[in-house]
Amino acid sequence: MIKKKRIIFHVDMDHFFTAVEERERPEFKGKPVIVGADPKGGKGRGVVSTCNYEARKFGVRSGMPISRAWKLCPEGIYLPVNYRLYMKVSREIMTVLRKYADKFERWGIDEAFLDVTSKAKDYGEAEALARKIKNEILEKEGLTCSIGVGPNKLVAKIASDFQKPDGLTIVKEEAVEEFLAPLPARKLLWVGRKTEQKLKKIGIKTIGDLANHDPTVLAETFGVMGTQLYLMAHGIDTSEVEERSEVKSISRDTTFEEDTTDFQLVLKTLDNLSEEVHKDALEQNLSFKTITVKVRYENFETHTHSETLPFITNRLQDLKKTARELMHDYLNPNRKIRLVGVKVSNFVSGEKQKTLI
């Protein structure tokens, strides 16, 4: 049986956290706005969650130390992270998006995949539908998004990032390879920094380089991922848009005021983070199986360590105990710790979950 050609959208909100803040406070419009840790006049030690496009002109980026952001853009408006508000807006946006999709998959707080195959018979209709969605989100929420349209999730995801903000990029099946070829290989979803370095070593910079490489050599170098990379470079992705629990993980992290080897402090902080994460999970009626801790040493070397429990839990004591155990190996009196984090994932939702989004 020949499978019907699909049309997939990937929707990604523009500078999400700061866009919500700007909507609440219109006087911020046109000014550089940064959401994240308190910069404390350049001495703050956390990171930037996100910033608006005005701040990006100064070189500020997500994940950057807030002290560096302050150096680059001292005149910026710095705001704390208001998760509750962003989650609420996120749920409202997902409600709008979901009704346009045959199949819907939330992907992070501000992104979603929509399979619209039955709603758009060709790419002309798909374009009209994408514009309708953009308009509705703008009217209802006062926010802009960027949409990528393509024959599969991979292409749609890369396309939504192609023209931002307020973008709409349509890549028809026959144009896929041409569209992907000039883009850097890291745009492929699973290519992290390490893989990117490895690829560069064998002369691969762009997706086109990867597509033209010998697939056998790729498989020898990268194992199963090599074959996957080769297929992705040709724009091949058969994964379905799948409805799933709308939250993939809940996490919190803290950067210490000073790098520390005070393990009591580290473990106390870990407990506090576990409590916050647990509270969020309870509010969303989520039970979890996997617990992850993150540690960053003073030289920024960062490690994560996970454990998947043999049972599903929503109990604080399980979370605290496991997080402490996982952290144990990282407590080295010769290594100062800069940051710790706790994450829960692998959720199973309760009944209430269904009404969340």
Positions touching ligand TTP (CB under 6 A) are: 12-17, 49-50, 62-63, 109-110, 164-165
What does 318 bind: Mg ion, ligand TTP, none (CB cut-off 5 to 8 Å by kind)?
none
Residues 346 and 357: their CA atoms lie apart, in Å, by: 18
Which CB atom, from 22 or from 110, has the smaller least distance to ligand TTP? 110
Q: How far is the CB of 100 from Mg ion (least distance, A)?
A: 19
- By the 8 A CB rule, do 279 and 285 touch? no
Q: How far is the CB of 111 from ligand TTP (least distance, A)?
A: 6
Which CB atom, from 46 or from 226, has the smaller least distance to ligand TTP? 46
What does 169 bind: ligand TTP, Mg ion, none (CB cut-off 5 to 8 Å by kind)?
none
Residue 190: CB atoms within 10 Å: 10
Q: Which two tokens stand for residue 352?
A: 């209430």
What does 50 bind: Mg ion, ligand TTP, none (CB cut-off 5 to 8 Å by kind)?
ligand TTP
Q: How far is the CB of 225 from Mg ion (least distance, A)?
A: 26
Q: Which stretch binds Mg ion (CB under 5 A): 70-78, 91-99, 108-116, 121-129?
A: 108-116
Which CB atom, from 252 or from 320, has the smaller least distance to ligand TTP? 252
Q: What are phi and psi of 315, to 5 degrees?
A: -95, 135
Which CB atom, from 14 or from 307, has the smaller least distance to ligand TTP? 14
Q: How far is the CB of 102 from ligand TTP (least distance, A)?
A: 24
Q: Which of 110, 237, 246, 318 binds Mg ion (CB under 5 A)?
A: 110
Q: How far is the CB of 82 from ligand TTP (least distance, A)?
A: 11
Q: Tell me the HSE value of 320 on the side-chain side, using a 13 A CA sphere.
A: 11
Residues 17 and 89: their CA atoms lie apart, in Å, by: 10
What sign for the dihedral angle of Cα 111, 117, 122, 128? negative
65 prior amide bond cis, ω within 30: no
Question: By CB under 5 A, what part of segment 8-27 binds Mg ion?
Answer: 12-13, 16
Q: Say which of 21, 22, 105, 111 is annotated catalytic.
A: 111
Q: How far is the CB of 325 from ligand TTP (least distance, A)?
A: 27
Which CB atom, from 253 or from 275, has the smaller least distance to ligand TTP? 253
Environment class of residue 232 by beta-carbon count within 10 Å: exposed (0-12), middle (13-18) or buried (19+)? buried
What does 17 bind: Mg ion, ligand TTP, none (CB cut-off 5 to 8 Å by kind)?
ligand TTP
Give 159's contacts (C-beta < 8 A, 6+ positions apart).
10, 148, 149, 150, 169, 170, 171, 179
Which CB atom, from 90 or from 274, has the smaller least distance to ligand TTP? 90
Residues 213 and 207: their CA atoms lie apart, in Å, by: 10
Active site residue 111: yes
Q: How far is CA 33 from the centre of its chain?
A: 20
Considering CB under 5 A, how many residues would be counted as binding Mg ion?
4
What does 255 bind: Mg ion, ligand TTP, none (CB cut-off 5 to 8 Å by kind)?
none
Which CB atom, from 163 or from 332, has the smaller least distance to ligand TTP? 163
Q: How far is the CB of 27 from Mg ion (least distance, A)?
A: 23
Please give the residue ranges that form the binding site for Mg ion (CB under 5 A): 12-13, 16, 110
For the annotated catalytic residues, the residue numbers are 111
